[in-house]
């Protein structure tokens, strides 16, 4: 049989002491991963959902811009001598609202349609304004109390 001095000299005794100490440390750290996850999860969710809503904001803004541009582009090609319901203002507003609905958004308020004549170039212009109130997709990140409304105004030269 070996005595304790030989076991200490051979290193077997010290290895098992280190193993016991390591097991004791692991037992003490058993729930630390769950605590760290619980601390990081709300920040991670805020970052992810905030990014999603931010992207949704830009999508809605781009869609409004494209709808106003497309409605105005359609409206300027219509003769100004055509009566309602096919006059240029009605066609432009209808086309812009249809583009918003086709993109999956509720129809924007398309207003301030005007045609003007001036002495300088271009002599005849058409202006169309669209207004849309931002509706969040996830609504995880709080918005200002008054909401976010954005507007787009474009002006094209009328076709003769």
Q: What is the dihedral of CA 58, 91, 123, 109, to 10 degrees?
A: -40
Range 102-134 burial, b when 16+ CB lie within 10 A, else e:
eeebebbebeebeeeeeeeeeeebbbbbbbbeb
Assign 128 to helix, strand or coil. strand
| pLDDT number for residue 123 | 62
- Residue 117 banded pLDDT, cuts 50, 70, 90: low
| pLDDT number for residue 100 | 86
Mean pLDDT, to the nearest integer, of 44-72?
88
Mean pLDDT, to the nearest integer, of 38-59?
90
Residue 56 has pLDDT above 90, yes or no: no
Q: What is the tens place of the pLDDT at every residue in 3-21?
A: 555 555 555 545 677 777 7
Every domain of the chain and the residues it spans: 12-157
């Amino acid at each position: 049989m070996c005595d304790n001095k030989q076991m200490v000299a051979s290193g077997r005794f010290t290895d098992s002491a280190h193993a016991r100490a390591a097991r004791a440390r692991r037992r003490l750290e058993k729930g630390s991963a769950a605590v760290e996850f619980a601390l990081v999860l709300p920040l991670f969710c805020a970052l992810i959902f905030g990014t999603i809503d931010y992207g949704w904001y830009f999508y809605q803004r781009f869609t409004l811009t494209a709808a106003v541009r497309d409605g105005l582009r359609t409206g300027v090609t219509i003769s100004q001598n055509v009566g309602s319901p096919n006059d240029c203002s009605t066609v432009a507003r209808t086309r812009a609202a249809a583009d918003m609905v086709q993109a999956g958004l509720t129809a924007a308020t398309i207003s301030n349609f005007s045609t003007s004549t001036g002495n300088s170039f271009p002599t005849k212009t058409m202006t169309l304004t669209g207004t849309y109130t931002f509706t969040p997709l996830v609504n995880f990140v709080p918005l200002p109390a008054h909401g976010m409304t954005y507007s787009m105004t474009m002006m094209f030269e009328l076709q003769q």
